[in-house]
Amino acid sequence: MKVAVLDKNGKDTGRKVDLSKDVFGIEPNNHAVYLDVKQYLANQRQGTHKAKEKAEITGSTRKLKKQKGTGTARAGSIKSGLFKGGGRFFGPRPRNYGFKLNKNLKRLARRSALSIKAQDKAIVVLEDFNMETPKTKEFTALLQSLGLENKKSLFVLGDSNNNVYLSSRNLRGTEVINNSELSTYKIMNANSLVLFEGSLESIEENLSK
């Protein structure tokens, strides 16, 4: 699959890159994509929720009333969840929501996500460029030239480029990452995937294993 390489002004440079069929042209496995996205979202959960149960409530341990003869149910402690101020029955406890997926499945999920974007013609290849200083105005002009100012976009850098990252940091709907940070969730969450030319070799090398 050949894709035209654009410059930072959104114009065709006259060059084309050939996207690997093994990475950008496979039959997508939707279940693998689902599992990888589910794992990513599960790992974002802090899992710090906590409610006090009966044993953790501060209060008297005195028996409230005699066991029999009151005509009502027996009650042993004011700390019971049946009473106001008592502990919660089976309340939430801190836990880790993460789960394990093997590497081959995660690679399959990322290849599937990239193939979905390729089928939707939502991949743009941009020639590498540098910014002398961080300028949000310059990055906004880049988005406008690519027609992405009102779309969720994910930019994938080949090498660490701090000025490009800082220029985009306070723009809503746009994220700039290195190719090592590429995940299935981030690919699927973006309307358009903008790959810097220098990132393609690393992406294809990592996902072709």
How do residues 116-161 score in pLDDT, each as one tens digit?
999 999 999 999 888 888 999 999 999 999 999 888 999 999 887 8
Strand bridging mode 174-178 / 153-157:
parallel
For residues 152 and 37, give the distance between their C-alpha atoms in angstroms, rounded to a whole number: 17
Residues 203 and 126 in one domain: yes
Which range has highest mean pLDDT (49-53, 199-203, 205-209)?
49-53
Residues 73 and 29 in one domain: no
Domain that residue 168 falls in: 2-45+100-207
Residues 153 and 174 in one domain: yes
| Number of domains, the chain | 2
